[in-house]
Structure 1
Amino acid sequence: MEDEYEIRVGLSNYFPWSEIGFKIVGQFENGKQALDYILTNHVDAILCDIKMPVMSGIELAKIVCTSNINTKIVFISGYREFEYAQQAIRYGVKNYIVKPTKYSEIVEIFSEIKKELDSEHHNMIQSLFESKAIYEESGHGNAISAIKNYINENYENVTLEDVAKIVYMNPYYLSKFFKQKTGKNFSDYLTEVKMKKAAEFLKNPLYKTYEVGSMVGYKNPKNFTRAFKKYYGKSPSEYISSRSSSK
Protein backbone atom coordinates (compact mmCIF):
# COMPACT_ATOMS: atom_id res chain seq x y z
CA MET A 1 0.00 0.00 0.00
CA GLU A 2 1.21 3.51 -0.87
CA ASP A 3 0.77 5.02 2.61
CA GLU A 4 2.59 2.09 4.25
CA TYR A 5 5.47 2.47 1.79
CA GLU A 6 5.72 6.20 2.46
CA ILE A 7 5.68 5.65 6.24
CA ARG A 8 8.38 2.97 5.98
CA VAL A 9 10.65 5.06 3.78
CA GLY A 10 10.03 8.16 5.84
CA LEU A 11 10.87 6.44 9.14
CA SER A 12 13.94 4.76 7.64
CA ASN A 13 15.43 7.72 5.83
CA TYR A 14 14.34 10.83 7.68
CA PHE A 15 13.99 9.89 11.34
CA PRO A 16 17.26 10.71 13.22
CA TRP A 17 17.97 7.15 14.43
CA SER A 18 21.69 7.79 14.88
CA GLU A 19 20.95 10.46 17.49
CA ILE A 20 19.43 7.84 19.79
CA GLY A 21 22.07 5.22 19.03
CA PHE A 22 20.57 3.15 16.20
CA LYS A 23 21.54 2.39 12.61
CA ILE A 24 19.10 1.21 9.94
CA VAL A 25 20.27 -2.10 8.49
CA GLY A 26 17.29 -2.93 6.27
CA GLN A 27 13.78 -2.15 5.05
CA PHE A 28 11.38 -4.95 4.19
CA GLU A 29 7.96 -5.09 2.57
CA ASN A 30 6.68 -8.04 4.60
CA GLY A 31 7.31 -10.08 7.72
CA LYS A 32 8.85 -13.02 5.83
CA GLN A 33 11.59 -10.83 4.34
CA ALA A 34 12.29 -9.38 7.78
CA LEU A 35 12.46 -12.86 9.33
CA ASP A 36 14.84 -14.14 6.65
CA TYR A 37 17.18 -11.24 7.41
CA ILE A 38 16.96 -11.71 11.20
CA LEU A 39 17.81 -15.39 10.92
CA THR A 40 21.13 -14.62 9.23
CA ASN A 41 22.05 -11.25 10.78
CA HIS A 42 22.11 -9.83 14.28
CA VAL A 43 19.40 -7.21 14.71
CA ASP A 44 18.91 -5.31 17.97
CA ALA A 45 15.42 -3.95 17.30
CA ILE A 46 12.57 -4.09 14.77
CA LEU A 47 9.86 -1.51 14.13
CA CYS A 48 7.10 -3.18 12.12
CA ASP A 49 3.43 -3.03 11.29
CA ILE A 50 1.09 -5.64 12.69
CA LYS A 51 -0.69 -6.16 9.40
CA MET A 52 1.83 -7.11 6.68
CA PRO A 53 1.60 -9.32 3.57
CA VAL A 54 2.92 -12.92 3.59
CA MET A 55 3.68 -12.87 7.34
CA SER A 56 2.04 -10.57 9.86
CA GLY A 57 3.83 -8.74 12.63
CA ILE A 58 2.21 -11.06 15.19
CA GLU A 59 3.51 -14.15 13.35
CA LEU A 60 6.97 -12.59 13.11
CA ALA A 61 6.97 -11.77 16.84
CA LYS A 62 5.85 -15.31 17.69
CA ILE A 63 8.73 -16.88 15.73
CA VAL A 64 11.29 -14.46 17.22
CA CYS A 65 9.96 -15.21 20.70
CA THR A 66 9.78 -19.00 20.40
CA SER A 67 13.19 -19.14 18.70
CA ASN A 68 14.80 -17.17 21.56
CA ILE A 69 16.15 -14.58 19.13
CA ASN A 70 17.38 -11.60 21.14
CA THR A 71 15.67 -8.90 19.10
CA LYS A 72 13.39 -6.19 20.51
CA ILE A 73 10.17 -5.68 18.56
CA VAL A 74 8.01 -2.57 18.52
CA PHE A 75 4.67 -2.64 16.68
CA ILE A 76 3.30 0.31 14.77
CA SER A 77 -0.30 -0.01 13.64
CA GLY A 78 -3.61 1.71 13.10
CA TYR A 79 -5.38 -1.10 14.91
CA ARG A 80 -6.50 -0.31 18.45
CA GLU A 81 -8.06 -3.69 19.21
CA PHE A 82 -7.16 -5.07 22.61
CA GLU A 83 -6.60 -8.53 21.11
CA TYR A 84 -3.55 -7.33 19.19
CA ALA A 85 -2.08 -5.71 22.30
CA GLN A 86 -2.57 -8.97 24.21
CA GLN A 87 -0.77 -11.00 21.55
CA ALA A 88 2.01 -8.42 21.39
CA ILE A 89 2.63 -8.77 25.14
CA ARG A 90 2.49 -12.57 24.93
CA TYR A 91 5.32 -12.63 22.39
CA GLY A 92 7.53 -10.17 24.24
CA VAL A 93 6.87 -7.14 22.05
CA LYS A 94 8.44 -4.11 23.76
CA ASN A 95 5.83 -1.53 22.81
CA TYR A 96 2.82 -0.76 20.65
CA ILE A 97 2.62 2.53 18.75
CA VAL A 98 -0.73 3.55 17.30
CA LYS A 99 -0.86 5.56 14.08
CA PRO A 100 -0.62 8.43 13.50
CA THR A 101 2.74 8.18 15.23
CA LYS A 102 4.29 11.00 17.22
CA TYR A 103 7.96 11.88 16.85
CA SER A 104 8.38 12.22 20.62
CA GLU A 105 6.78 8.83 21.25
CA ILE A 106 9.21 7.02 18.92
CA VAL A 107 12.16 8.84 20.51
CA GLU A 108 11.01 7.92 24.00
CA ILE A 109 10.36 4.25 23.21
CA PHE A 110 13.59 3.63 21.32
CA SER A 111 15.65 5.59 23.85
CA GLU A 112 14.40 3.18 26.50
CA ILE A 113 15.22 0.22 24.26
CA LYS A 114 18.73 1.62 23.74
CA LYS A 115 19.22 1.82 27.52
CA GLU A 116 18.05 -1.77 27.85
CA LEU A 117 20.40 -2.94 25.09
CA ASP A 118 23.32 -1.07 26.67
CA SER A 119 22.56 -2.69 30.03
CA GLU A 120 22.41 -6.14 28.45
CA HIS A 121 25.71 -5.49 26.67
CA HIS A 122 27.31 -4.32 29.91
CA ASN A 123 26.06 -7.43 31.72
CA MET A 124 27.38 -9.65 28.95
CA ILE A 125 30.82 -7.98 29.11
CA GLN A 126 30.79 -8.29 32.89
CA SER A 127 29.89 -11.95 32.60
CA LEU A 128 32.75 -12.49 30.14
CA PHE A 129 35.19 -10.79 32.50
CA GLU A 130 33.97 -12.93 35.39
CA SER A 131 34.30 -16.07 33.30
CA LYS A 132 37.80 -15.01 32.27
CA ALA A 133 38.69 -14.35 35.91
CA ILE A 134 37.39 -17.77 36.94
CA TYR A 135 39.33 -19.37 34.08
CA GLU A 136 42.49 -17.52 35.04
CA GLU A 137 42.01 -18.36 38.70
CA SER A 138 41.58 -21.99 37.75
CA GLY A 139 44.76 -21.76 35.68
CA HIS A 140 46.56 -20.16 38.60
CA GLY A 141 45.27 -22.91 40.88
CA ASN A 142 46.67 -25.51 38.51
CA ALA A 143 50.03 -23.70 38.50
CA ILE A 144 50.16 -23.65 42.31
CA SER A 145 49.30 -27.35 42.42
CA ALA A 146 52.07 -28.10 39.92
CA ILE A 147 54.56 -26.08 41.98
CA LYS A 148 53.63 -27.81 45.23
CA ASN A 149 53.69 -31.26 43.65
CA TYR A 150 57.13 -30.62 42.19
CA ILE A 151 58.45 -29.44 45.57
CA ASN A 152 56.96 -32.45 47.36
CA GLU A 153 58.66 -34.81 44.94
CA ASN A 154 62.01 -32.99 44.62
CA TYR A 155 62.36 -31.30 48.02
CA GLU A 156 65.94 -32.50 48.54
CA ASN A 157 67.58 -30.35 45.87
CA VAL A 158 64.80 -28.18 44.40
CA THR A 159 65.44 -24.49 43.71
CA LEU A 160 63.23 -21.56 42.74
CA GLU A 161 64.86 -21.56 39.30
CA ASP A 162 64.03 -25.28 38.82
CA VAL A 163 60.36 -24.71 39.58
CA ALA A 164 60.21 -21.57 37.41
CA LYS A 165 61.22 -23.66 34.40
CA ILE A 166 58.48 -26.21 35.12
CA VAL A 167 55.68 -23.60 35.11
CA TYR A 168 57.29 -21.34 32.47
CA MET A 169 57.63 -18.32 34.76
CA ASN A 170 60.36 -15.87 35.55
CA PRO A 171 61.85 -16.81 38.98
CA TYR A 172 61.21 -13.31 40.34
CA TYR A 173 57.60 -13.35 39.14
CA LEU A 174 57.12 -16.90 40.45
CA SER A 175 58.28 -15.83 43.91
CA LYS A 176 55.73 -12.99 43.99
CA PHE A 177 53.02 -15.16 42.43
CA PHE A 178 53.51 -17.96 44.96
CA LYS A 179 53.40 -15.51 47.87
CA GLN A 180 50.25 -13.87 46.51
CA LYS A 181 48.37 -17.14 45.98
CA THR A 182 49.48 -19.09 49.09
CA GLY A 183 50.39 -16.40 51.61
CA LYS A 184 53.79 -18.06 52.07
CA ASN A 185 57.24 -17.32 50.73
CA PHE A 186 58.60 -19.98 48.39
CA SER A 187 61.57 -20.62 50.68
CA ASP A 188 59.33 -20.94 53.75
CA TYR A 189 57.11 -23.46 51.99
CA LEU A 190 60.13 -25.46 50.85
CA THR A 191 61.47 -25.48 54.42
CA GLU A 192 58.08 -26.61 55.70
CA VAL A 193 58.06 -29.55 53.29
CA LYS A 194 61.63 -30.48 54.22
CA MET A 195 60.91 -30.37 57.97
CA LYS A 196 57.73 -32.44 57.69
CA LYS A 197 59.59 -35.02 55.61
CA ALA A 198 62.43 -35.01 58.17
CA ALA A 199 59.98 -35.56 61.01
CA GLU A 200 58.57 -38.57 59.16
CA PHE A 201 62.05 -40.03 58.60
CA LEU A 202 63.01 -39.51 62.26
CA LYS A 203 60.21 -41.84 63.26
CA ASN A 204 62.27 -44.65 61.75
CA PRO A 205 65.00 -45.72 64.28
CA LEU A 206 67.15 -47.07 61.44
CA TYR A 207 68.00 -43.54 60.29
CA LYS A 208 70.67 -41.46 62.01
CA THR A 209 69.98 -37.75 62.47
CA TYR A 210 72.68 -36.70 60.00
CA GLU A 211 71.29 -39.18 57.48
CA VAL A 212 67.85 -37.66 57.77
CA GLY A 213 69.37 -34.21 57.30
CA SER A 214 71.11 -35.37 54.14
CA MET A 215 67.87 -36.96 52.86
CA VAL A 216 66.08 -33.62 53.01
CA GLY A 217 68.90 -31.64 51.45
CA TYR A 218 71.11 -30.57 54.38
CA LYS A 219 74.67 -31.74 53.82
CA ASN A 220 75.82 -30.03 57.01
CA PRO A 221 74.24 -31.72 60.09
CA LYS A 222 74.50 -28.50 62.13
CA ASN A 223 72.48 -26.57 59.56
CA PHE A 224 69.82 -29.31 59.60
CA THR A 225 69.63 -29.28 63.42
CA ARG A 226 69.32 -25.48 63.43
CA ALA A 227 66.56 -25.48 60.81
CA PHE A 228 64.68 -28.32 62.50
CA LYS A 229 64.79 -26.63 65.92
CA LYS A 230 63.62 -23.34 64.46
CA TYR A 231 60.62 -25.07 62.85
CA TYR A 232 59.60 -27.49 65.64
CA GLY A 233 61.03 -25.71 68.68
CA LYS A 234 63.23 -28.70 69.55
CA SER A 235 66.26 -30.42 68.10
CA PRO A 236 65.95 -33.69 66.15
CA SER A 237 67.20 -35.70 69.16
CA GLU A 238 64.73 -33.89 71.47
CA TYR A 239 61.97 -34.57 68.95
CA ILE A 240 62.84 -38.30 68.97
CA SER A 241 62.95 -38.38 72.78
CA SER A 242 59.61 -36.64 73.10
CA ARG A 243 58.03 -39.17 70.77
CA SER A 244 59.53 -42.08 72.74
CA SER A 245 58.36 -40.71 76.11
CA SER A 246 54.83 -40.11 74.78
CA LYS A 247 54.36 -43.74 73.84
Structure 2
Amino acid sequence: MLMLWLPVAALATQAPPPPPDITQRAGFDQHLGAPLPMDTRFLDANGKPVDLRTLAGGKPLLLTLGYYRCPNLCDVVLNGMAHTLAKLDLAPGRDFAVAFVSIDPTETPADARHTQTMLERMHPDAHVPQWRFLTGDQASIGPLARAVGFRYFYDQKLHQYAHAAGLVAITPEGKVAQYFFGVSWPPASLRLALVGASQGRLGSLADRLVLLCCGYDPATGRYSLAIGRSMQALGVAFVLALACWLAWLRARARA
Protein backbone atom coordinates (compact mmCIF):
# COMPACT_ATOMS: atom_id res chain seq x y z
CA MET A 1 0.00 0.00 0.00
CA LEU A 2 2.87 2.38 0.81
CA MET A 3 4.50 1.75 -2.59
CA LEU A 4 1.18 2.50 -4.31
CA TRP A 5 0.64 5.70 -2.29
CA LEU A 6 4.04 7.24 -3.00
CA PRO A 7 3.50 7.77 -6.76
CA VAL A 8 0.04 9.19 -6.08
CA ALA A 9 1.45 11.58 -3.48
CA ALA A 10 4.18 12.63 -5.87
CA LEU A 11 1.63 13.40 -8.58
CA ALA A 12 -0.50 15.30 -6.09
CA THR A 13 2.39 17.54 -5.06
CA GLN A 14 3.79 17.98 -8.58
CA ALA A 15 3.69 21.54 -9.84
CA PRO A 16 1.18 22.29 -12.62
CA PRO A 17 2.59 22.42 -16.15
CA PRO A 18 3.52 25.80 -17.64
CA PRO A 19 1.04 27.57 -19.95
CA PRO A 20 1.06 26.23 -23.52
CA ASP A 21 1.72 29.73 -24.92
CA ILE A 22 4.70 30.45 -22.68
CA THR A 23 7.09 31.02 -25.61
CA GLN A 24 4.78 33.71 -26.97
CA ARG A 25 4.39 35.46 -23.62
CA ALA A 26 7.97 35.18 -22.35
CA GLY A 27 11.17 35.72 -24.30
CA PHE A 28 13.54 38.22 -25.86
CA ASP A 29 12.70 40.49 -28.80
CA GLN A 30 15.97 41.93 -30.09
CA HIS A 31 15.90 45.72 -30.24
CA LEU A 32 19.43 46.36 -31.48
CA GLY A 33 20.23 50.07 -31.41
CA ALA A 34 17.15 50.93 -29.35
CA PRO A 35 17.60 53.60 -26.65
CA LEU A 36 16.97 52.71 -23.02
CA PRO A 37 15.27 54.93 -20.43
CA MET A 38 18.60 55.64 -18.75
CA ASP A 39 17.18 58.27 -16.39
CA THR A 40 14.64 55.90 -14.85
CA ARG A 41 15.13 55.63 -11.08
CA PHE A 42 15.67 52.39 -9.17
CA LEU A 43 16.88 51.53 -5.67
CA ASP A 44 20.22 49.81 -5.12
CA ALA A 45 20.94 47.14 -2.52
CA ASN A 46 21.42 49.84 0.13
CA GLY A 47 18.11 51.51 -0.63
CA LYS A 48 19.68 54.51 -2.37
CA PRO A 49 18.04 55.84 -5.55
CA VAL A 50 20.10 55.47 -8.72
CA ASP A 51 19.47 55.74 -12.45
CA LEU A 52 21.14 53.67 -15.14
CA ARG A 53 22.98 56.64 -16.62
CA THR A 54 24.69 57.41 -13.32
CA LEU A 55 25.28 53.72 -12.71
CA ALA A 56 27.00 53.26 -16.10
CA GLY A 57 29.17 56.33 -15.56
CA GLY A 58 30.11 56.65 -19.22
CA LYS A 59 31.06 52.97 -19.52
CA PRO A 60 29.39 50.03 -21.29
CA LEU A 61 26.66 48.42 -19.21
CA LEU A 62 26.02 44.69 -18.91
CA LEU A 63 22.34 44.35 -18.03
CA THR A 64 20.21 41.40 -17.03
CA LEU A 65 16.63 41.16 -15.76
CA GLY A 66 15.11 38.61 -13.42
CA TYR A 67 14.10 38.56 -9.76
CA TYR A 68 15.74 37.72 -6.48
CA ARG A 69 13.19 35.20 -5.20
CA CYS A 70 13.28 33.23 -8.44
CA PRO A 71 13.29 29.54 -7.43
CA ASN A 72 15.67 28.34 -10.15
CA LEU A 73 16.56 30.18 -13.37
CA CYS A 74 17.90 33.47 -12.00
CA ASP A 75 20.37 31.75 -9.68
CA VAL A 76 21.76 29.89 -12.68
CA VAL A 77 22.01 33.14 -14.68
CA LEU A 78 23.79 34.98 -11.86
CA ASN A 79 26.24 32.15 -11.29
CA GLY A 80 26.87 31.94 -15.03
CA MET A 81 27.60 35.67 -15.07
CA ALA A 82 30.01 35.33 -12.17
CA HIS A 83 31.87 32.43 -13.81
CA THR A 84 32.24 34.36 -17.06
CA LEU A 85 33.19 37.74 -15.58
CA ALA A 86 35.81 36.13 -13.37
CA LYS A 87 37.66 35.05 -16.53
CA LEU A 88 37.75 38.48 -18.17
CA ASP A 89 40.72 40.84 -18.13
CA LEU A 90 38.15 43.65 -18.04
CA ALA A 91 36.86 44.47 -14.56
CA PRO A 92 33.36 45.50 -13.44
CA GLY A 93 33.35 49.01 -12.05
CA ARG A 94 36.64 49.93 -13.73
CA ASP A 95 35.94 49.07 -17.38
CA PHE A 96 32.19 48.45 -17.48
CA ALA A 97 29.14 48.41 -15.25
CA VAL A 98 26.94 45.46 -14.30
CA ALA A 99 23.29 45.72 -13.27
CA PHE A 100 20.74 43.08 -12.29
CA VAL A 101 17.24 44.57 -12.28
CA SER A 102 14.34 42.85 -10.55
CA ILE A 103 11.11 42.52 -12.57
CA ASP A 104 9.12 41.95 -9.36
CA PRO A 105 7.89 45.29 -7.97
CA THR A 106 7.28 43.72 -4.55
CA GLU A 107 10.95 42.93 -4.00
CA THR A 108 13.00 45.23 -1.78
CA PRO A 109 16.62 46.34 -1.38
CA ALA A 110 16.91 43.70 1.36
CA ASP A 111 16.24 41.01 -1.27
CA ALA A 112 18.87 42.56 -3.52
CA ARG A 113 21.38 42.78 -0.67
CA HIS A 114 20.85 39.13 0.28
CA THR A 115 21.46 37.98 -3.30
CA GLN A 116 24.56 40.12 -3.63
CA THR A 117 26.01 38.82 -0.34
CA MET A 118 25.40 35.17 -1.28
CA LEU A 119 26.89 35.62 -4.76
CA GLU A 120 29.94 37.41 -3.37
CA ARG A 121 30.64 34.53 -1.00
CA MET A 122 30.33 31.97 -3.80
CA HIS A 123 32.41 33.91 -6.34
CA PRO A 124 35.06 36.04 -4.62
CA ASP A 125 36.96 36.49 -7.91
CA ALA A 126 34.01 37.92 -9.89
CA HIS A 127 34.11 41.46 -8.40
CA VAL A 128 30.51 41.09 -7.22
CA PRO A 129 30.75 44.13 -4.87
CA GLN A 130 31.08 46.24 -8.03
CA TRP A 131 27.81 44.89 -9.47
CA ARG A 132 24.60 46.79 -8.86
CA PHE A 133 21.48 44.92 -7.73
CA LEU A 134 18.38 47.01 -8.29
CA THR A 135 14.69 47.04 -7.40
CA GLY A 136 11.92 49.37 -8.49
CA ASP A 137 8.22 49.87 -9.04
CA GLN A 138 6.31 48.83 -12.14
CA ALA A 139 6.56 52.35 -13.58
CA SER A 140 10.35 51.89 -13.71
CA ILE A 141 10.53 48.19 -14.56
CA GLY A 142 8.02 48.18 -17.41
CA PRO A 143 9.66 50.77 -19.71
CA LEU A 144 13.11 49.22 -19.24
CA ALA A 145 11.86 45.69 -20.01
CA ARG A 146 10.01 46.90 -23.11
CA ALA A 147 13.05 48.85 -24.32
CA VAL A 148 15.29 45.77 -24.30
CA GLY A 149 12.51 43.48 -25.56
CA PHE A 150 12.28 41.43 -22.37
CA ARG A 151 8.85 39.73 -22.24
CA TYR A 152 7.66 38.14 -18.99
CA PHE A 153 4.51 37.46 -16.96
CA TYR A 154 3.46 36.22 -13.55
CA ASP A 155 2.05 32.68 -13.58
CA GLN A 156 -0.71 32.53 -10.96
CA LYS A 157 -0.68 28.71 -10.92
CA LEU A 158 3.06 28.36 -10.42
CA HIS A 159 3.31 31.51 -8.24
CA GLN A 160 6.40 32.68 -10.10
CA TYR A 161 7.44 34.78 -13.06
CA ALA A 162 7.99 33.20 -16.44
CA HIS A 163 10.83 34.95 -18.20
CA ALA A 164 13.79 34.47 -20.52
CA ALA A 165 17.47 34.21 -19.60
CA GLY A 166 20.26 36.29 -21.04
CA LEU A 167 22.45 39.38 -20.92
CA VAL A 168 22.23 42.65 -22.82
CA ALA A 169 25.28 44.79 -23.62
CA ILE A 170 24.47 48.51 -23.56
CA THR A 171 26.59 51.33 -25.00
CA PRO A 172 27.70 54.25 -22.79
CA GLU A 173 25.04 56.35 -24.54
CA GLY A 174 22.35 53.89 -23.45
CA LYS A 175 21.62 51.95 -26.67
CA VAL A 176 21.26 48.19 -27.04
CA ALA A 177 24.46 46.82 -28.58
CA GLN A 178 24.19 43.04 -28.29
CA TYR A 179 22.27 40.15 -26.73
CA PHE A 180 23.61 36.99 -25.10
CA PHE A 181 20.98 34.30 -24.62
CA GLY A 182 20.96 31.41 -22.18
CA VAL A 183 22.84 30.94 -18.91
CA SER A 184 26.42 30.39 -20.06
CA TRP A 185 28.52 32.56 -22.38
CA PRO A 186 32.07 32.34 -23.81
CA PRO A 187 34.25 34.91 -22.04
CA ALA A 188 35.96 35.85 -25.32
CA SER A 189 32.62 36.69 -26.97
CA LEU A 190 31.43 38.68 -23.98
CA ARG A 191 34.69 40.60 -23.95
CA LEU A 192 34.32 41.44 -27.64
CA ALA A 193 30.76 42.63 -26.99
CA LEU A 194 31.96 44.98 -24.25
CA VAL A 195 34.80 46.26 -26.43
CA GLY A 196 32.37 46.85 -29.29
CA ALA A 197 29.80 48.51 -27.05
CA SER A 198 32.46 50.82 -25.62
CA GLN A 199 32.86 52.42 -29.07
CA GLY A 200 36.62 52.54 -28.92
CA ARG A 201 37.01 53.19 -25.20
CA LEU A 202 38.07 49.64 -24.38
CA GLY A 203 40.30 47.08 -26.02
CA SER A 204 43.32 47.15 -28.26
CA LEU A 205 44.02 47.39 -31.98
CA ALA A 206 43.92 43.59 -32.11
CA ASP A 207 40.41 43.64 -30.62
CA ARG A 208 39.26 46.09 -33.30
CA LEU A 209 40.70 43.91 -36.04
CA VAL A 210 38.88 40.89 -34.61
CA LEU A 211 35.64 42.87 -34.52
CA LEU A 212 36.26 43.94 -38.11
CA CYS A 213 36.66 40.33 -39.24
CA CYS A 214 33.89 38.89 -37.08
CA GLY A 215 30.23 39.67 -37.33
CA TYR A 216 27.58 39.56 -34.62
CA ASP A 217 24.84 37.03 -35.45
CA PRO A 218 21.54 38.17 -33.84
CA ALA A 219 20.05 34.70 -34.31
CA THR A 220 22.60 33.07 -32.03
CA GLY A 221 23.81 36.03 -29.98
CA ARG A 222 27.40 35.13 -30.85
CA TYR A 223 30.24 36.32 -33.05
CA SER A 224 31.17 34.43 -36.20
CA LEU A 225 33.77 34.92 -38.90
CA ALA A 226 32.45 37.28 -41.53
CA ILE A 227 34.00 36.38 -44.90
CA GLY A 228 33.16 39.70 -46.48
CA ARG A 229 34.68 41.67 -43.63
CA SER A 230 37.74 39.44 -43.64
CA MET A 231 38.29 40.08 -47.33
CA GLN A 232 37.90 43.82 -46.76
CA ALA A 233 40.44 43.72 -43.95
CA LEU A 234 42.88 41.73 -46.06
CA GLY A 235 42.37 44.15 -48.93
CA VAL A 236 43.10 47.14 -46.72
CA ALA A 237 46.19 45.42 -45.33
CA PHE A 238 47.40 44.63 -48.86
CA VAL A 239 46.96 48.23 -50.03
CA LEU A 240 48.82 49.54 -46.98
CA ALA A 241 51.64 47.04 -47.51
CA LEU A 242 51.87 47.95 -51.20
CA ALA A 243 51.98 51.68 -50.38
CA CYS A 244 54.76 51.11 -47.85
CA TRP A 245 56.70 49.02 -50.35
CA LEU A 246 56.39 51.70 -53.08
CA ALA A 247 57.45 54.40 -50.63
CA TRP A 248 60.49 52.32 -49.70
CA LEU A 249 61.41 51.85 -53.37
CA ARG A 250 61.18 55.60 -54.04
CA ALA A 251 63.27 56.39 -50.99
CA ARG A 252 65.86 53.86 -52.10
CA ALA A 253 65.93 55.25 -55.67
CA ARG A 254 66.52 58.76 -54.41
CA ALA A 255 69.34 57.57 -52.20
What TM-score do the two structures reach when normalised by structure 1?
0.31
Higher RCO (CA < 8 A, seq sep 6+): 2
1 or 2, which has the higher helix percentage?
1
What TM-score do the two structures reach when normalised by structure 2?
0.30
Which of the pair has more CA radius of gyration? 1
